[in-house]
Amino acid sequence: MTDLFAHRVAVLATMHRKEQAIAPRLEARLGVTVAVPPSFDTDGFGTFTGEIKRPADQLTTARLKAEAALESTGETLAIASEGSFGPHPQLPFVACDREIVLLIDRQHQLEIVGECLSADTNYRQQVVGSWAEAEAFAAAVGFPSHGLIVRADDAVIAKGITTAEELETAVARAMQQSTRSTARLETDMRALYNPTRMGAIAQATEHLLQAIAQTCPACGTPGFSEVKRWPGLPCGLCGTPTLLTRLVRHQCQRCQFHQDLPAPESPSVADPGHCPRCNP
Ligand SMILES: [Zn+2]
Ligand SMILES: [Zn+2]
């Protein structure tokens, strides 16, 4: 399966040193050479600090980045990565980082996605009114190995802050400029300022490699991956269909062969706790 990609150049659309997490893995396992186009400006696709809004959802944004890298280099294989931060979908008070790493192969008409949903993130913001509060926030989010952003109200005073001196200067300036004499502190989520996020990008890259390794049983094309799920796993006590996944469809991108199988992570029947009849 690596034959499809071996000895090819994979352009990586990034300017935040994500190649540190992505390139060694792809080069070792796919036999590609990862190249970052010089002066590729991904900030045009949206920034975490909000100066530029994202044009679309996470996957679409990654696609746009990959396509721009293909256009600017004339290559046929591209990688793009995109992160988003917010409340965990199942645990409302836990912050989480959802990372995707996308591979687009124009030569073979393939698009394969790797994903990582991680609650291991320092993503956080706080408004502070004193240097002591700022120091406490910084200590809690892993500063200085993790960078910070300081704002006066909405205006960015400094970002990519990684020393106590820079932080002190920025906080003092923000408190001076702010109409409320406060500074707003945020974790800088750009990969090069956030080793924890870099780790999540590495995990998403591993997942991408797993997805590539799943080949179509009919034609051998990589990326034989999940396209759809059906609920209805029967209750273990009374057999009533529950909302848990009953079947997962995997489909080939080239020959349209598909397979409907039980979800690998699901038991064969649902716990009665999930049953609308046993536990309404
Ligand atoms: Zn196939
Ligand atoms: Zn039941």
Q: Is residue 56 part of a domain?
A: yes
Identify the pLDDT of residue 280: 82
Separation CA 136–CA 164 (nearest Å): 12
Q: Which residues of the chain have pLDDT under 50?
A: 1-2
Nearest Cα to Cα of residue 67 among 47, 100, 42: 42
Looking at the CA of 251, name the nearest ligand: 1
Q: Is residue 44 part of a domain?
A: yes
204 and 89, same structural domain?
yes
Identify the pLDDT of residue 14: 85
Separation CA 94–CA 89 (nearest Å): 9
Looking at the CA of 276, name the nearest ligand: 2
Q: Is the distance from CB of 174 to CB of 150 less than 8 angstroms?
A: yes
203 and 81, same structural domain?
yes
Could you tell me the distance, in angstroms and rounded to a whole number, from the CA of residue 258 to the centre of ligand 1? 8
Could you tell me the distance, in angstroms and rounded to a whole number, from the CA of residue 251 to the centre of ligand 1? 8
Could you tell me the distance, in angstroms and rounded to a whole number, from the CA of residue 231 to the centre of ligand 2? 15
69 and 25, same structural domain?
yes
Q: Is residue 279 part of a domain?
A: no
Q: Is the distance from CB of 150 to CB of 157 less than 8 angstroms?
A: yes
144 and 74, same structural domain?
no
Q: Is residue 221 part of a domain?
A: no
Looking at the CA of 218, name the nearest ligand: 1
Q: Is residue 73 part of a domain?
A: yes
Peptide bond before residue 144 is cis, with ω within 30 degrees of 0: yes
Q: Is residue 222 part of a domain?
A: no
Which domain does 266 fall in, by range? 227-274
Neighbours of ion ligand 1 (CB under 5 A): 216, 218-219, 221, 252, 254-255, 257
Q: Is the distance from CB of 126 to CB of 162 less than 8 angstroms?
A: no
Burial classification of residue 90, based on how many CB atoms lie within 10 Å of its CB (0-12 exposed, 13-18 middle, 19 or more buried): exposed
Could you tell me the distance, in angstroms and rounded to a whole number, from the CA of residue 256 to the centre of ligand 1? 6
63 and 91, same structural domain?
yes
Could you tell me the distance, in angstroms and rounded to a whole number, from the CA of residue 219 to the centre of ligand 1? 4
13 and 98, same structural domain?
yes
Scored b (16 or more CB within 10 A) or e, 127-162 reads ebeeeebbbebbeebebeebbbbbbbeeebbbbebe
Per-residue pLDDT tens digits for 3-54: 899 999 999 988 789 999 999 999 999 999 999 988 777 666 666 666 666 6
DSSP annotation of 4 reads G
95 and 22, same structural domain?
yes
Burial classification of residue 66, based on how many CB atoms lie within 10 Å of its CB (0-12 exposed, 13-18 middle, 19 or more buried): buried
* CATH for 177: 3.30.1490
Could you tell me the distance, in angstroms and rounded to a whole number, from the CA of residue 227 to the centre of ligand 1? 14
Q: Is residue 243 part of a domain?
A: yes
67 and 50, same structural domain?
yes
pTM of the full structure: 0.87
Looking at the CA of 217, name the nearest ligand: 1
Separation CA 274–CA 241 (nearest Å): 9
Domain count along the chain: 3
Q: Which CA distances in Å does 108 have to 95, 104, 105, 215, 254?
A: 38, 9, 6, 14, 9
198 and 180, same structural domain?
no
129 and 117, same structural domain?
no
* CATH for 90: 3.90.950.10
Identify the pLDDT of residue 143: 97
199 and 84, same structural domain?
yes
116 and 129, same structural domain?
no
